[in-house]
A and B are shown apart, each in its own frame.
Chain A
């Protein structure tokens, strides 16, 4: 690395005084986000554990409950989220090579795709509300009370075990959706500063770090989709 490059970076307005240079600042930021993501992995890990445990206890009830989820909307949302991860990666790339127009377009696309995911999720939640599948009495005046025939409930399977699936479904997809909402908020802040021209090839760490968060949320969904939507299809889902 040339000496002049180091000096140039040392004088960058985005450099915080407690860092030697932008490279060190960059590595510290990336490392900090990864440590945060480890805590996030453990947070979602607890819910994945609960899922695994109850699925192993009530396999038939979980298959029946899962088969009632909308596989088309779930698959479309998976594609939407993967596409948004791609546009996020392109936002980081455009910032690294200094293409501001592409950077702004990528960020806008990522936000739009994130909102599309949340919209589709809202449609799914509403369907569950109409089918009285919101667990417990979370919905005032509309407690968990699905039609056993519509659920294709087989003899010997308890509705309360089906309800257990929906507790886990709403807890996990709800926490995931909350992370998406926070992600869209972070991306909006990025977009604001991006339009103002704050990010450059020398200083692109905020874009990269929020990208890491966004990809993490994508990974959670990559596991949620098969575990929640696909688990009972081979037993004759409808």
Chain B
């Protein structure tokens, strides 16, 4: 697999997108959205920003399939960590 060199234009675009994302997340935090919407908006922006960093700054978009598997495995194990823990806490209120 030959190496892909990400053009500077892409890095600059991602950098600007991350800065805009930071501004939006601060502005959104001061709005009083109904229910749990505040945390959903904040986490959605954070996940989008993290995805941009992983795909472009960390070159995963252009990396070997094996790297994709490794990254996915991390998310999978995180999901297990959260799902099993909270299935316990949410179903046993007396704890």
Contact = CB atoms under 8 A, between A and B. Distances in A.
Contacts of B53: 85, 215, 218-219, 222
A226 B11 contact: no
Contacts of A30: 63, 67
B91 interface: no
Interface residues of B, number: 49
A230 B74 CA distance: 26
A37 interface: yes
A234 interface: yes
Contacts of B43: 226
Interface residues of A, number: 50
A1 B2 contact: yes
A90 B8 contact: yes
B42 A226 contact: yes
Contacts of A42: 74, 77-78, 81
A93 B38 contact: no
Contacts of A235: 32
B22 A79 contact: yes
A189 interface: no
A37 B63 CA distance: 15
Nearest to B38: A234
Given A78-B22, A97-B5, A222-B50, A233 B30 contact: yes
A23 to B, nearest CB: 8
A90 B57 CA distance: 9
Contact of B11 (A26, A35, A37, A86): A86
Contacts of A79: 19, 22
A23 B87 CA distance: 45
A120 B26 CA distance: 18
Contact of A82 (B2, B15, B56, B67): B15
Interface string A191-233: 0000000000000000010011001101100110111001101
B56 to A, nearest CB: 8
B78 A41 contact: yes
Interface of B: 1-3, 5-6, 8, 11-12, 14-15, 18-19, 22, 25-26, 29-33, 38-39, 42-43, 45-46, 49-50, 53-54, 56-59, 63-64, 66-67, 70-71, 73-74, 77-78, 81-82, 85-86, 89
Interface of A: 1, 23, 26-27, 30-31, 34-35, 37-38, 41-42, 45-46, 49, 52-53, 56, 71, 75, 78-79, 82-83, 85-86, 88-90, 93, 96-97, 208, 211-212, 215-216, 218-219, 222-223, 225-227, 230-231, 233-235, 237
